[in-house]
């Protein structure tokens, strides 16, 4: 971490994020949460050193979404909703900074996924309402 290289960060992030996904698939949320947290901590640290690198921001959005999934599976839907909303805001900021077809697609897919994933968490949340309106604006 003293002098992170882009590829090293990517491989480490990929490993932690995939371990979290592996444990989620195996119904072991208690094992997934620490890996999801570690992936987010890594990206937060590196993104703080290089805030202009959009790939770190995309990875941050992905880490937040994975942590949301893990928190929901661990029985903490309010924390999950907050993490998922933070993930959407990262992708929204990337889209606003450089509105391209790729970033629009990323945001749209994230919104659709967030609405689907959070359906059982809280159907009438302010976050879900905002996501629905944002998704309508992208149509």
For residue range 42-53, what is the model confidence (pLDDT) as tens digits? Answer: 999 998 888 888
Domain hosting residue 68, numbered range: 6-138
45-81 per-position pLDDT tens digit: 998 888 888 999 999 999 999 999 999 999 999 999 9
The enclosing domain of 121 has a CATH number of 1.25.40.10
Domain count across the chain: 1
Q: Which pLDDT score is estimated for 131?
A: 95
Q: Which pLDDT score is estimated for 2?
A: 56
Inside any domain, residue 109? yes
Inside any domain, residue 99? yes
Q: Give whole-number Cα distances, 128 to 38, 65, 84, in Å.
A: 26, 14, 10
Alpha carbon 41 to its chain centroid, in Å, reads 12
Q: Which helix (H) or strand (E) holds 77?
A: helix 77-97
Q: Are 108 and 60 in contact (CB under 8 A)?
A: no
Question: Hey, what are 41's tokens?
Answer: 């901590």
- Assign 1 a pLDDT band (cuts: 50, 70, 90): low
pTM given for the model: 0.90
3-state secondary structure of 59: helix
């Amino acid at each position: 971490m003293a002098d992170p290289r882009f590829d090293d960060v990517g491989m480490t992030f990929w490993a932690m994020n995939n371990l979290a996904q592996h444990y989620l698939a195996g119904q072991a949320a208690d094992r997934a949460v620490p890996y999801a947290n570690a992936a987010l901590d890594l990206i937060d640290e590196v993104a703080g050193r290089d805030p202009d690198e959009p790939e770190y921001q995309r990875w941050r959005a992905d880490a937040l979404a994975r942590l949301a999934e893990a928190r929901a599976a661990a029985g903490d839907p309010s924390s999950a909703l907050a993490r998922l909303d933070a993930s959407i805001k990262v992708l929204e900021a990337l889209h606003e900074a450089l509105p391209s077809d790729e970033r629009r697609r990323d945001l749209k897919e994230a919104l659709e996924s967030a609405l689907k994933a959070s359906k059982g968490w809280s159907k009438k949340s302010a976050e879900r309402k905002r996501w629905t309106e944002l998704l309508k604006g992208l149509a």
